[in-house]
Chain A
Amino acid sequence: MSVPLTLLGLLEREPSHGYDLKRDYDTYFGRGRPLPFGQVYATLGRLARDGKVVISEVQPGVGPERKRYVITEAGATEFDAWLTEPIEAEPHLQSVLFTKVVLALMLGRPAQEYLDIQRGAHLERMHQLTEIRRRGSLVDGLLADHGLFHLEADLRWIDTTVARLDALRAEVVKP
């Protein structure tokens, strides 16, 4: 999750105080890991330095809450580019797991056991997400669904790989 781009997106709605940005970030994107105030203001500071936001007005008083942040043309362009760009379609898990499987086979280690343990970890995480989905709000449920579908795809890959371990071993182990 890119914090600067997310904050830019929130500012694209309307100029906001740092406090409001943090609150909305935590509500929609925090997933139990609230954004520290320090990081909010540090990020806004960097965005301002780079000309992506400006401080619209300084109200009388003290402290950062006097400031309202407004997205600039440059900020809006960057946000827009990010929004329309597809994200890296190749998940990383497979490549890491694939490396482990191939190395395990090369080294004569129990590749199937490793995959079973990975399967167990995936199912455990899917169980947690299923509980969130059953009990949580729609936002939580949809995020959980996203995770569930990904984990399910990984598990299918694990199934396929387990079914082909012997063939794979024959290919990667020199006789």
Chain B
Amino acid sequence: MTDTMIEARDVVRSFGQTPALRGATVAVAPGEILAIMGPSGSGKSTLLHCLAGILVPDSGEIHFDGRRVDTLDEARRSALRRDSFGFVFQFGQLVPELTAEENVALPLLLGGTRREAALRQARPWFARLGLDGLERRRSGELSGGQAQRVALARGLVTSPKVLFADEPTGSLDSLTGEQVLDQLIVAAREHGTTVVLVTHEARVAAYADRHVMVRDGKVAALAPERVLS
């Protein structure tokens, strides 16, 4: 079946005694932008981490591009994350010792691309995201919005199949946040990237094509159940 890019089937995950997911099921189509909403502590980030192969479910399955991935060992999941996924998170993402362009190139460098080639691939993102001239700055010399755009470029530089974004505008004011989101959406549509966007803000979720709600570790659809044929 190729109309699903990534999915979680009945995923259960606890942290010690704390159940975070209690049978979460969700599927994302290729090129789809899905927003995962829900109250604080409901399990949104845990679900995203399970989908992305950062966490392994206690039970249930994760499938990506037709393959089961939760049963892969850590090395293979790590390779999958590096080759097929991109990430944008809310906080502390840029390496302060590196310049902005080195930060963007980082996933390529970690994947074994040579330095010159990696930087050459990183640079076009600066113009694309309105960051011209900031290539050599360090993260401490960027505004919050600029840093978040650098993080977005880093998430997209490997042309991932799936971009995972957890509260990507969390610390930004609404106008700056909307600019970053707009660029995320434009870039994702241009490349056909599938996006899993975690947010508790409706205005952020409104950028997505479809919305689901995580409540008490389960996923609720927000439309009357459709019978899939």
Contacts and interface: CB of A to CB of B under 8 A. Distances in A.
A104 to B, nearest CB: 15
A134 B220 CA distance: 28
A163 B40 CA distance: 12
A88 B163 CA distance: 44
A126 B203 contact: yes
A71 interface: no
Interface size class of A (residues with CB under 8 A): 10 to 19
A123 B203 contact: no
Nearest to A133: B178
Interface string B191-229: 000000000001101111101010000001111100000
Interface stretch (A3-11, A13-21, A46-54, A113-121): A113-121
Given A116-B213, A123-B211, A134-B182, A129 B222 contact: no
A130 B207 contact: yes
Among B220, B222, B223, the one with the most A-chain Cβ atoms within 10 Å of its Cβ is B222
A120 B205 CA distance: 11
Q: Could you tell me the dominant secondary structure of chain A's interface residues?
A: helix
Interface residues of B, number: 18
B223 A127 contact: no
B169 to A, nearest CB: 13
A159 B211 CA distance: 15
Interface in A88-127: 116-117, 119-120, 122-123, 126-127
22 contacts: A116-B220, A116-B221, A117-B222, A119-B211, A119-B222, A120-B222, A120-B223, A123-B35, A123-B205, A123-B211, A123-B222, A126-B202, A126-B205, A126-B206, A127-B207, A130-B206, A134-B185, A148-B206, A152-B202, A152-B203, A156-B202, A163-B39
Interface of A: 116-117, 119-120, 122-123, 126-127, 129-130, 134, 148, 151-152, 155-156, 159, 163
